[in-house]
């Protein structure tokens, strides 16, 4: 199978260069949407594309939180920020590096999966969604954010002939290399195809305009955005859309004690040896680097 391209943030100053550059409004409204959609408590949650753990404070109701990202440097920042556990030892934090096309987790493992500002880097979004559905426990919740192709700004630009692609075409558009916008109807179709039922929709970042953010108080824009977010089921014209989905209730749950899945052979028989994870079925070994599990590429061994 052809290797799918990956957007790698390794070594980037994402926290400082992106979130440190006047995006207080976006951060606040995304947190507001996530608070409304996220189940407040549970046994185990994974954030796919967690980066440096920006949203970690919202996950305090869970026993165990897994930060999953492709970039080891981002996970190192997350570990520096959050350590091994929250107050009183809960939640326990686990840091895992891997490819979102090959999620290294036992099927049926997570009560909740979140994915915010991540799917827009997927050249094969349906494959990522199928993987998410597989990792969810029976009836588990998936909170997804995606970049909306059919947003008001894109519609106006298209009508004024200032952009070539149509926001009404349901196919994803790659506006910058490995940066995709998705049509809401297309996204609902792919979620359904993955076995995920859309339960709630919230539209977010209605006022994401540079001039508006410079002249209007951030608190006012956040308050107005929160008022508009519940209109998501009626129309989706904002640049960002959040959806909460549910996995099928009749799917199998993860066996007791199972956690990782070998990305080489698919086995769930992995032994933690301290500095490595060892697959007893195919012989693959994966590094554990400063307590970060690196399951992107095996160190050696394994049957491909």
Task: Provide Rg for the chain, Cα atoms.
Answer: 19
Alpha helices in 48-183 (DSSP H): 72-82, 125-135, 152-159
What are the boundaries of each domain within the chain? 14-255, 260-297
Whole-angstrom distance, CA of residue 12 vs CA of residue 64:
27
pLDDT of res. 302: 52
Residue located via tokens 């979130």: 19
pLDDT digits (tens, 9 = 90+) for 121-141: 999 999 999 999 999 999 999
Strands 276-279 and 196-204: unpaired
Q: Is the pTM of this model over 0.85?
A: yes
pLDDT of res. 304: 44
The structural architecture, per CATH, of the domain 14-255 is: 3-Layer(aba) Sandwich (3.40)
Query: Which parts of the chain sit beneath pLDDT 70?
Result: 1-2, 300-304
Calculate the CA dihedral of residues 213, 214, 216, 220 and round it to 10 degrees: 40
Q: The tokens of 240 are what?
A: 């960002």
């Amino acid at each position: 199978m052809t290797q799918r391209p990956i957007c790698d943030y390794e070594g980037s100053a994402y926290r400082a260069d992106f979130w440190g550059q006047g995006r207080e409004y976006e951060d606040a409204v995304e947190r507001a949407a996530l608070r409304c959609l996220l189940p407040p408590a549970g046994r185990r949650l994974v954030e796919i594309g967690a980066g440096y753990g920006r949203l970690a404070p919202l996950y305090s109701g869970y026993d165990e939180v897994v930060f999953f990202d492709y970039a080891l440097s981002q996970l190192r920042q997350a570990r520096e920020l959050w350590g091994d556990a929250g107050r009183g030892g809960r939640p326990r934090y686990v840091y895992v590096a891997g490819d979102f096309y090959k999620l290294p987790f036992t099927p049926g493992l997570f009560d909740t999966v979140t994915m915010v500002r991540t799917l827009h880097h997927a050249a094969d979004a349906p494959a990522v969604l199928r993987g998410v559905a597989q990792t969810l426990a029976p009836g588990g919740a998936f909170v997804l954010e995606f970049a909306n192709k059919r947003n008001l700004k894109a519609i106006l630009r298209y009508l004024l002939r200032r952009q070539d692609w149509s926001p009404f075409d349901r196919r994803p558009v790659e506006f910058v290399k490995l940066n995709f916008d998705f049509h809401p109807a297309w996204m609902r179709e792919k979620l359904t195809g993955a076995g995920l039922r859309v339960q709630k929709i919230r539209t977010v970042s209605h006022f994401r305009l540079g001039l508006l953010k410079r002249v209007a108080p951030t608190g006012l824009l956040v308050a107005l955005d929160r008022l508009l977010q519940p209109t998501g089921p009626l129309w989706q014209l904002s640049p960002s859309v959040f959806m909460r989905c549910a996995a099928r209730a009749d799917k199998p749950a993860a066996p007791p004690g199972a956690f990782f899945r070998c990305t080489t052979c698919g086995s769930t028989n992995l032994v933690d040896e301290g500095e490595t994870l060892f697959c007893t079925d195919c012989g693959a070994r994966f590094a554990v680097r400063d307590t970060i599990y690196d399951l992107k590429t095996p160190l050696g061994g394994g049957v491909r």
